[in-house]
Structure 1
Amino acid sequence: MPPAPKPPPLASVTDSTVAGVLDALLLTRPEVDRSSLIALKGRRVTGTCEWLLRHDRYREWLKGIDPPLLWISGGPGKGKTILSIYITEELESVVDAAQGVLLYYFCSNRDKNRNSAVTIMRGLLHQWLSLHPNLAQHIQNFFDGSETTKYTISSFICLWKLFLNLLNHTNAPQVVCVLDGLDECEEESLKQLLDVLGEYFSDSEAKPKTYLKVILLSRPQPGPLESKLHRFPRIKLDDSDVEIQKDVEKYISAKIAELAAENILSEDKLLQVRQTLMASAEGTFLWVGFVADELKGKNWLQINDILHRLPKDLGGVYQRLLQQVEDKEKLVPILQWVVLAARPMTVDELAVAAEIKAFHALTPAEILKDRLASCGLLVKVDGDVVNLVHESAREFFQSDQINIDGINIFRMNHKTHRSLMRTCLGLIEGSYKSPGSISNASLDNSLLTYASLYWPEHFRQAMDSVEAQFEFSSQFFRAESPVRDDWWKFYWDREQYGGAPPSFTLLHLAAYFGNLAWAKMLLKNSAAAGIPFRRHTSRKDTYGRTPLFWAATRGHRDVVELLLEHGAKINSKDRDKLTALHIAVTGEHKDVVSLLLDRSARIEAKGSYGDTPLIRAIQANSKDIVKLLLEHGARVDALPTPPGIAALKGPMDPLEERAKQLLELQEQLFTARYENQSRLVDLTLKILTVSLRYKPIFKLVALYVRHWSVGRWEVLQDLVKNNESARLRKWAQSFSGVGDQLVEARNPRDLEAMTGLSVRVFEVVSTADLEALLVIGVLVGSSVMLASAKSRWREGVEISGRTFSQFASLAYHRGTGESLDYGVRQFLIDLDASIRTGNRADTVDRVVVMFRTHLAILASKDPRPIEYMSTVITEYFERYIGGSYEEQLFSDASEACANELAAISKCQDSRRLFLVLSAIFQIAQHSREKGQDRFLNIPPASCLILCQDDPDSHRWLIGEGIPETMSVLISRQQQGPARKRAFKALVECLIIGKQFGLSLSMGVRETVKRNLEPIDGVDGMLDQILST
């Protein structure tokens, strides 16, 4: 579970804005990745790579001769990454001298934080804003609120827009980007990046004043690189024989120098080594590096033997490394996981996966590292993560080069994936033994999370060798499987979808994971059993979605096509009345959209909000899909027209112009959806209000609202995403109106029912819906709580406070703390207004709400919400210290505290008193010196207010309750200034009590003295204060 987000400090808006944006964008730091690569691959040999600076195409690119994109391509081991590092180091001084900006990025297909267009853009933006934080002001609205931020950092199109935005606002004359390893990006994601770059550099419209220049480095493959970049200047390392050969010669010379430093070899022998390496290197740095490392520590006879048996290529090097392994059988299972795992695995995970047991004093991890060391340079251990030395090694293990005697046991293919899949499923079946729980032993198994998340990938890769009778006889693959149900809940929760997972059939799972072969097998088995295809393909889950829907959601075109061929209903609707076409458009899966349109999907189908696929495409800002829908006849007559335009462009107008015009309708379409949803909410609340009078009807309505809320809050998500605070408040007013009626009636049972319903709804909705609903929940809850405080209905305040506490725990458990904070900040904005307009009564009531909320959270004993609320209150009050409103605010806070203490005094509630004073002490501990003084002055100031009103009514509180409780709290504090301040506050309370004749009894005096014994001189001081 990710750590709960911390609330941004209120004091420094500019600093917090930059920090918040940088924190949201951060995945990895390109400058750190560069340093790690230098440490892993070694520093460039002096003199190498310098030929590039003299290359005509590089020089033209550097001068700014169009086009400003240069592609450098080369095969494995050609030194592309070292060349990339060299380019970035060379350009640093060049770009800096021109007062430009240099950005760079290193991709890695083994790191999910560095293998997509989204991660590239986040890295570039983070690097740019770190260099020029002042630019954050131009994009900060994209990071207002958790939903907005989440959308921004996950959408490539949005991130690209931010990049262009910074281009428009930077004062730098040029921005230079160097991107290494694009071939290691996900292919679909790579297409997105190459498309926008191609479109940007081809667009004839006026560019920003800042000149953008890009260098891309990659292998020649995959296909999109060649097809998208063929029209740009290119340097082929594979064709640059002369330059590369000279660099290899220099690299070999450096390695020979290292060899000479540790071996006493004659010049003739060193020359022989050099000539042999030169003759066999074939321009491959990686090959030279492997061979040179093998020569280290050897005598001349051994070196000579190695030189006579030199491998011809990288494959030969890998063969040699494996042939030298003595205990190959023990290494096989380890390397199978290292090579085929869906992500780099840790040492502990590998030890479990390879079934390595402790031996005497050696731990499994130590044994594993010892076995990995036997394969030499083939594997690298970075911290506790194990990786292959180079991507070419992964390809080697799955190629024909390993099919030779002695090492063919290392051959890996779909059968190996089957073995890994069986290990994963065996662990899952052994862990989820009883419905709804995981066995205790499994909780400590470091491999369980990997197995639960990634077995579907191994299963997909293994389908060619799956033995149906063996595989599908296990309990996991039965039609009704408690084990699979529990695994699915775990998977759904770990993917942070939120709410209850849909009730999937096996065909749903196959469609979700894009496992075409499995889907075919399930349909084949269905036919063999005499069951019509349509019965399977049309089966709906608890969300009302068929397998076709999930295949379209995930962009699995081949599975979509298969399901359509086997009778899937193309226009089937889910509970939100959405079709597969709607959801494919929303996900921007253009190839799936095209297929569905070709198969006659209903292009004018309407969802719950009346949105057609075209409306969804406009809202997604997807020009390509808008154009595709227009080409298939999507109607525009029901769409609004832009201001000042008589009518939208029609079929006779250019398609590009039509699409561009429609994309300008986003705000108008959103407004229409908002108003439509608002009417629906108002109607539901009216029914709910009436039903409160009739309990059987209320239960039915509550069930409906709970069901209706799942996945049905897209408009609310958009409001939060776009930081539409005015509309959010207007929506919240509808709900607050129902709560206000209950406060006016002082009906605790109905208020409990309403707040309980909201908590139940929040528990079952998706994470995306929860993030939106939390904002409304806090706005409504604080409004109802404030109404209760103003009417002096303590029970209503307590009910609302407990509800907020439940919201807070739910938010931090589900990783949506930022949404909670968004709602809280809206409440604080209103408190600001009360303070600045001098509305003292309203300020007191709002402070009551703040403190009572904190008390409810303290009572829950949930540490993260407690820490959050303490920080919010501390930072809010400290912001006013030193300003003109300081005295007024803390005076009102003392008034609010006095109100709470008066109620405590009336019923002599020592537990509640302890909670109140604990809250004040905790907030004081979060504060700086002046803040500590201010917060710790609240108890004595409150005592004075109560004594001036009616001292006799508070004899127990001031003469017993406060002294005993404060002395206990002080005794628990560490020695230092904070404890001295707290003791001073207690002394002031005692003096005030003495002044009003509320002296301590002898028993209370002794208790207080005993509690405060650790403080030097306390006895004499107390005797002096309490003496008559």
Structure 2
Amino acid sequence: MAAETIGIVAACGQFVEQSVKIIQLSKRVHDRFQDAPAEIDAWRQQIESLEKLVAAVEASPALQVEGLKPTIEQAKAVAGKLLGIFEGIDFEKDDGFGHKSWRVIGGFLKEDEINDLFKEIERLKALLGDQIAVININQGHDKFARVESLIQDLGRSFRPGTDEDQCLQDLFITDPLSDRDGIVTAKGRRTPGTCEWIPITEEYQTWSTTRSGLLWISGPPGKGKTFISIFLTQLLQSSKPDDTIIWFFCDNKVTTRNKAVNILRGLIIQLIQKHNQLISRITPTWKIQGTNLFRDNSFETLWRIFEDMLEALKDHEVCCVLDALDECDEASLSSLLFKIENLFEPDEKSTRPHRLKLVVTSREQPECLPATLSTFPYITLGLLEHDIQLYISDQISHLARVKGIEGLPLCQYIEYAFRKRAGGTFLWVSFMARDLEHKTVKEIEHALTQLPRDLPEVYERIISKINPESKTEVGNMLTWLLFASRPLTVVELCGAVQIKPTPYLTKEQVCLGYIQSCGHLLQVSTGRPPNGVDYRVNRLPPLIPVSTKMTELKSEESGACLYVSFVHQSAKDFLRHHSSGLAAMNGPVDSKKTHADITNRLVSLLTMDRPFSPLFDVAKDLPLLPYAVFNWNYHMREMGTDFVTVLDEHKDFFRRASEARDRWWAWYHFEYPGQDPPKDVPLLHMACITGLYHLLEYALLKRNTLLGLLRTREVNRVWGNDQETPLHLMVKQGQDKMVHLLLKYGADVSIKNVRGKTALDGAAFLGPYSVFLLLAASRTSREIIEADAKSSISQRHRATLLHTAARGGHQDICRELVEKWHYDIETKNEDGFTPLLVAVRCQHLTLASFLVKQLGAQTTPRIKILESVFYTRERSRINEALDSLSSNLGVDINATDEDGDSLFHRSYSPAFIMLEECIAAGLDLNKQNQQGETVLHCNFWLSATHERLRLVLKESHLDVNARDNQGCTPLHALVAVAGHPDRAPWSLGLSNLAVLLDFGADRSLTDAHGRTPSQLAVEYLKQGPDEIYIEEGIGSSDEIDEMPCTMSMIVEILSRYATALVDVRVPDHLGEEMGNGDQPAST
């Protein structure tokens, strides 16, 4: 055994001995001294956790590496100081009162010192845990490699076809685990030793040991930020196996990974994957908004849901890594950064209601990133000499093996040349190593004298080497890739650039040749077809780079397509902004002009004069058509006010009535099979659907008197299956600017759609608050709101805007309606529900608390509020919802109505199917109402099966023979209700009789009038004819199915039924599940 190993083992053994003594002594302090510090248990847990890690090092030769020794030696030194303090405490029992007080013995004088030492123990524990995790990762012993994909995991957690399953399908945007694996596949694994300096920095260690916080890691292009992110996700998974680890890798080349809404969707679905109960945090809103919840304009709603989930996990540490945040769409990035900044509030760490620890990696551009994140702890990636040297050695070692030059002077020369030119950029090293791998040994020697200085020179050389004969086609191809809204397939590129086949090569093979000539600029990847049902619901898988050899690219396999994208963001920057980039091939780069050219080309495809056919069929001949259908508006939007040139070029598509536009609409809505999309698509409606502000403005401008009259009619025209105006559509989109424009040009807020809803109704329900305020400011809206507010104080029950806002969960809108427009907070809708009840039924519990505390909503009758919370039918959230009602509204599980009836005294309540959850929340089943009735007198659902009644009797002191104020038992009550068929509840059946009798109900007991249950039944029988007569006796509950509960049957059962006594303590041998139907169990 080496001396270093012996030293580590010895240090480990010494620390373990010290920690055992500290644990014993701290326990004695806790037991002996009543005023000992409250933190003593936490201290003991910290030293125990560190002791386990050190013991693992002592027991595992694989962990006994020199790098761990300093950490263990530090731990030993700290433990020595702690041991000295604890050993100085006199624990003798016979020394009088003084030694029973922590204060008297002077322990409190050392309390600050002990606290500081245990904080150091906590830091060393986190550091050692990270170091062990790194060793395991480098040795391939990590567990993260076996983590299941998101889809596989969620597929087993939620039953197919349920609301939860459908909600998750709509929520899904990308699989972060597959994204991470795809990056590793594309760029290779991390070189051991690199990135490992991050966990030992002061910034990271502080971040790791605090309750919540943000750490920003920034650096220029090619510095390995994404590898650092991958490393950190693996490190956290390995070092914090009991914590929640989530991540998201942004990529501006992939539409599912470049917007703030998509980041939230990716994080939320991971939280649900790891904590299934969190599904209840999103389903109530999803049930109301459907797929609209996941559109770009739903960022605010999704952020509220994300925050809600974090607060629900306040007892769980959540670690999150966001990579390449600079590649997020800048418009949505600003909103995300604003929310992140508020989430952490650096000056109020102690008040944060969550335990989120966030790491962000990015460049320092755009400006909003440093403006927001530089106020938090950050690490700047500089030259990274140590990591670069390791990476160079690793790459050259691989190259030497491939070329057979290991140990030769050439190998040393390559390493010298790389070190001299790398400039701290991993991407440069990767490119150069790949280039040399394709050269002969002699060519390598010559190439080393001409290595480019930096990344721009790498790209410049690629451009300069493109064959002049194909430079035009390659330039056009790069232009399309640079300005497209997503990566294009090889087939789409062929259509975009109009590549022609040669006598011996297909156009796709010609295109691949152009791609190969672009070297390190481009990469080819495989993925599913971009246009189809899968694409429309965002089922695009991660892009997995493959070989670009023509013989190895088989796009027909498994329906896969070949995607073309840029290797790195730096390549796009070079082409767009460098004089030797795209400008050297096609002249100066004018973004608006380029988007205009692309828009013209795409709209030309939409207006081709040909018979209508399904999109899939037409795409066989026009492969660029699907891209045109779904993306022409993106390019037109990017043109800004220059879009008029496209209108002039394609008057047929943008005229008042257009067959071409109808054809586009039919293709655009192909995901609804069996439905005929409405024709005569109005121009204003199209502008609203596609979010084209400038087109909407152009169509509304009053260019002459006749057009002005037409505009007034068109702006309020109803169209589509839902018969909606442009204003209805824009309210759904939630875009303030376009809503304002429509109102400016006369949009009528009062027009109702096919469901009788105005745009104002839609704004109250969907929000956001800013859109509602825009609509509410119009004269028509004021009249509607004033009339609606007056109706809220009348006795007539009807749904008001306040109910609608409560259903949507909008606190600001509710406040506006009550405080400014004087709505009655107690107004009731057709079902008799107040806004408070509506909010509770929709699980908007924060809003419910606001309505009570800020707007004065009454919390009576409490029983109705209590019942409302159970309409969620989501068991996982009930306990928390009940806690919220109790703490914020003063409504507990045992609330009663004016007759003293509790939740389970009622003949029906949505709470019934959650009996076990109610009992766990403290439901008192022993309560009697003012008539002295128990729940067994009133609620026949409880006695419909053996399992339910067993649970009720087991969890209460109830007696099946309990009597009410009239001396009636539950058997009497059952007979009395059956005697009034119009009042008999749905849960009443013959099974109730059998179950009660099996549990010991006494048939001989009499009520206040001296009647047994059987005699009472006979009295009812004498009052009128009974339709059913039982000729044969019933001997057991096996013979009782779903027979109606008629008096003749009741008499027969009470007379002849042979009971099978049931022991409350013994589980039902049938294993009946709670919540099943009301059929009786056999006995």
Q: TM-score, normalised by structure 1?
A: 0.54
Q: Which amino acid aligns with 1:38?
A: V
Q: Is 1:399–2:574 an aligned residue pair?
A: no
Separation (CA, whole Å) in 2 of partners of 1:445 and 1:831:
61
Q: 1:136 aligns with which of 264, 269, 276?
A: 276
Residue in 2 that maps onto 1:181 = 324
Structure 1 residue 390, shift from structure 2 partner: 1.7
> Bigger radius of gyration, 1 or 2?
2
SS at 1:343 equivalent:
coil
Residue in 2 that maps onto 1:324 = 465
The alpha-carbon distance between structure 1 residues 209 and 336, as it changes in their structure 2 partners (threshold 3 A), is closer
Residue in 2 that maps onto 1:343 = 486
Cα deviation, 1:916-961, whole Å, max 9, x if unaligned, reads xxxxxxxxxxxxxxxxxxxxxxxxxxxxxxxxxxxxxxxxxxxxxx
The alpha-carbon distance between structure 1 residues 250 and 489, as it changes in their structure 2 partners (threshold 3 A), is same
SS at 1:526 equivalent:
coil
Residue in 2 that maps onto 1:425 = 603
Residue in 1 that maps onto 2:455 = 314
Residue in 1 that maps onto 2:244 = 101
The alpha-carbon distance between structure 1 residues 137 and 460, as it changes in their structure 2 partners (threshold 3 A), is closer
Separation (CA, whole Å) in 2 of partners of 1:573 and 1:540:
9
Asked if structure 2 preserves the Cα contact closer than 8 Å seen for 1:139 and 1:162, the reply is: no
Structure 1 residue 443, shift from structure 2 partner: 6.1
Q: Give the gaps of 5 or more residues in structure 2.
A: 1-150, 527-561, 789-796, 838-845, 865-870, 878-984, 995-1035, 1043-1083
Query: Over aligned residues, Cα RMSD in angstroms?
Result: 5.5
Q: Which amino acid aligns with 2:569?
A: E
SS at 2:691 equivalent:
coil
The alpha-carbon distance between structure 1 residues 94 and 534, as it changes in their structure 2 partners (threshold 3 A), is same
SS at 2:321 equivalent:
strand
TM alignment of 1:169-208, pairs within 5 A: 173-187=316-330, 189-190=332-333, 193-194=336-337, 196-202=339-345
Q: Is 1:554–2:738 an aligned residue pair?
A: no
Residue in 2 that maps onto 1:255 = 395
Separation (CA, whole Å) in 2 of partners of 1:152 and 1:832:
39
Q: Is 1:372–2:549 an aligned residue pair?
A: no
Q: Which amino acid aligns with 2:485?
A: A
The alpha-carbon distance between structure 1 residues 403 and 297, as it changes in their structure 2 partners (threshold 3 A), is closer
Separation (CA, whole Å) in 1 of partners of 2:589 and 2:737:
29
Asked if structure 2 preserves the Cα contact closer than 8 Å seen for 1:67 and 1:232, the reply is: no
Q: Is 1:639–2:639 an aligned residue pair?
A: no
SS at 2:524 equivalent:
strand
SS at 1:509 equivalent:
helix
Separation (CA, whole Å) in 1 of partners of 2:163 and 2:329:
32
Mean CA deviation greater in 282-291 or 30-39: 282-291
Residue in 1 that maps onto 2:655 = 478
TM alignment of 1:488-507, pairs within 5 A: 488-494=665-671, 500-501=677-678, 504-507=681-684
Separation (CA, whole Å) in 1 of partners of 2:678 and 2:174:
31
SS at 1:449 equivalent:
helix
Asked if structure 2 preserves the Cα contact closer than 8 Å seen for 1:537 and 1:548, the reply is: no
Q: Is 1:32–2:178 an aligned residue pair?
A: yes
Structure 1 residue 617, shift from structure 2 partner: 4.5
Residue in 2 that maps onto 1:236 = 380
Residue in 1 that maps onto 2:425 = 284
Cα deviation, 1:438-482, whole Å, max 9, x if unaligned, reads 796556543322211111112222456556387445422222211
Separation (CA, whole Å) in 2 of partners of 1:275 and 1:245:
14
Q: Is 1:215–2:392 an aligned residue pair?
A: no
SS at 1:46 equivalent:
coil
Q: TM-score, normalised by structure 2?
A: 0.52
SS at 2:356 equivalent:
strand
**Larger RCO, structure (CA 8 Å, separation 6 or more):** 1
SS at 1:235 equivalent:
strand
Separation (CA, whole Å) in 2 of partners of 1:12 and 1:406:
55
Separation (CA, whole Å) in 1 of partners of 2:749 and 2:835:
34
Residue in 2 that maps onto 1:621 = 809
Separation (CA, whole Å) in 1 of partners of 2:229 and 2:162:
34
TM alignment of 1:842-921, pairs within 5 A: none
Asked if structure 2 preserves the Cα contact closer than 8 Å seen for 1:570 and 1:601, the reply is: yes
Residue in 2 that maps onto 1:662 = 851
Asked if structure 1 preserves the Cα contact closer than 8 Å seen for 2:214 and 2:357, the reply is: yes
Separation (CA, whole Å) in 1 of partners of 2:505 and 2:286:
47
SS at 2:607 equivalent:
helix
Asked if structure 1 preserves the Cα contact closer than 8 Å seen for 2:598 and 2:635, the reply is: yes
Q: Which amino acid aligns with 1:351?
A: C
Separation (CA, whole Å) in 2 of partners of 1:209 and 1:561:
37
Residue in 2 that maps onto 1:386 = 564
Q: Which amino acid aligns with 1:87?
A: L
SS at 1:382 equivalent:
strand
TM alignment of 1:583-732, pairs within 5 A: 583-584=762-763, 586-589=765-768, 592=771, 602=781, 605-606=784-785, 616-623=804-811, 629=816, 634-640=820-826, 661-662=850-851
Separation (CA, whole Å) in 2 of partners of 1:156 and 1:530:
37
The alpha-carbon distance between structure 1 residues 722 and 612, as it changes in their structure 2 partners (threshold 3 A), is farther
Mean CA deviation greater in 41-50 or 194-203: 194-203
Q: Which amino acid aligns with 1:94?
A: S
Structure 1 residue 558, shift from structure 2 partner: 4.0
Q: 1:460 aligns with which of 633, 637, 640?
A: 637
Q: Which amino acid aligns with 1:295?
A: L
Mean CA deviation greater in 533-542 or 43-52: 533-542
SS at 1:640 equivalent:
coil
Asked if structure 1 preserves the Cα contact closer than 8 Å seen for 2:501 and 2:507, the reply is: yes
Separation (CA, whole Å) in 2 of partners of 1:345 and 1:144:
37
Structure 1 residue 80, shift from structure 2 partner: 1.4
Q: 1:515 aligns with which of 680, 692, 708?
A: 692
SS at 1:329 equivalent:
helix
TM alignment of 1:790-869, pairs within 5 A: none
SS at 1:176 equivalent:
strand
Cα deviation, 1:425-445, whole Å, max 9, x if unaligned, reads 2222226546x9879655654
Separation (CA, whole Å) in 1 of partners of 2:679 and 2:409:
74
Residue in 2 that maps onto 1:62 = 208
Asked if structure 2 preserves the Cα contact closer than 8 Å seen for 1:537 and 1:563, the reply is: no
SS at 2:594 equivalent:
helix
Separation (CA, whole Å) in 1 of partners of 2:500 and 2:709:
50
Separation (CA, whole Å) in 2 of partners of 1:559 and 1:646:
30
Separation (CA, whole Å) in 1 of partners of 2:703 and 2:640:
18
Asked if structure 2 preserves the Cα contact closer than 8 Å seen for 1:623 and 1:660, the reply is: no
Q: Which amino acid aligns with 2:712?
A: R
The alpha-carbon distance between structure 1 residues 144 and 587, as it changes in their structure 2 partners (threshold 3 A), is closer
Q: Which amino acid aligns with 2:237?
A: E
Q: Which amino acid aligns with 2:439?
A: K
Asked if structure 1 preserves the Cα contact closer than 8 Å seen for 2:212 and 2:354, the reply is: no
The alpha-carbon distance between structure 1 residues 646 and 33, as it changes in their structure 2 partners (threshold 3 A), is closer
SS at 1:430 equivalent:
coil
